Amino acid sequence: MNNSEPNHKHRNFKGQLPDEAIVCFTRKHWVQLFPYIFTALLVCVFALYLPFLVGRKELEPLLTSGGFFVLSSIIIGAITYALHYIFTKIFNYYLRIILITNQRVIDLNKTLFINDQRLTIMLSEIQDISMERMGIMQTIFNYGTINIVISGVTKTKPLHRIPNPDYHFRKIVQARQEYMNRLATVTRDSAVNVTENIYAQQNAFRPLPVEAPELAENVVTRERIFQPITTDAVLPLQ
């Protein structure tokens, strides 16, 4: 294996940056699945009741041998489709993830077969964040919307049906604050480094004074900076 290839073993998700760490992640609230769960229950009840329904005397005139075959085929096909549809929706629920890392907020909208969307908002691009939890349902089941205003385009990206929105709102604010502090530290350090480099370069290429050659010993030159230490210059240990 080539050593220059990045090591993907310790990555948590596809597209994770080398120095990126996950602060927290969440899925949408289960309220989103409510229609599918309700449909699944109806389908199960209907499927379990079907053998008893077919055996009823009242339906016998309707169910001739050909009619029964067609009807049973349609019902079996429909319920099989419904079962797959509901479970696929439930698995899609598990694949939809919102990640808060130390560099960005990522909305992974992936489904099993069709969709693969990723929305990334860099923490430095976030201008404003707001959280709203409105209505009885949202208050009882503790979910809401987090609105992220992106600077530059002044566009709002709403994250709907986020469970425990207070917690995730705080996490985004906290991650953004830490990111900005880190960015400020890096900028300050790099500014100091640039100043030191400019100072060193100026000293390295300073011409020797012509008028007073006896002062030339005190001028720091590139050769003097990188002069190797000789054994004579090392003081003996006491």
Partner 1 sequence: MLLQIALFSIFHTLSALFLVAVLYRLYSYIRRYRFNESKYTLLFGFVHMHWFVWFYVGALLVWSVISYIIMF
Q: Under the rule (CB under 8 A), what is the footprint of partner 1?
A: 11-14, 22, 25-27, 30, 33, 44, 47-48, 50-51, 54, 69, 72-73, 75-77, 79-80, 83-84, 87-88, 90-91, 93-95, 97, 108, 110, 112-113, 163-164, 167
Q: State in angstroms the smallest separation of the CB of 26 from partner 1.
A: 6
Nearer to partner 1, 50 or 150 (CB): 50
Nearer to partner 1, 64 or 80 (CB): 80
Nearer to partner 1, 94 or 205 (CB): 94
- The Cα–Cα gap between 190 and 64 comes to 86
- Residue for token pair 């080539």: 2
Q: What angle do CA 218, 221, 223 make, to 5 degrees?
A: 120
Residue 179 contacts residue 124 (beta carbons within 8 Å): yes
Nearer to partner 1, 48 or 212 (CB): 48
Q: State in angstroms the smallest separation of the CB of 98 from partner 1.
A: 10
Nearer to partner 1, 33 or 150 (CB): 33
Provide the edge-to-edge strand list for the sheet that holds 126-132: 126-132, 143-150, 155-163
- The Cα–Cα gap between 200 and 197 comes to 5
Q: State in angstroms the smallest separation of the CB of 156 from partner 1.
A: 25
Q: What are phi and psi of 17, to 5 degrees?
A: -75, 155
Provide the edge-to-edge strand list for the sheet that holds 97-101: 22-26, 97-101, 104-110, 116-122
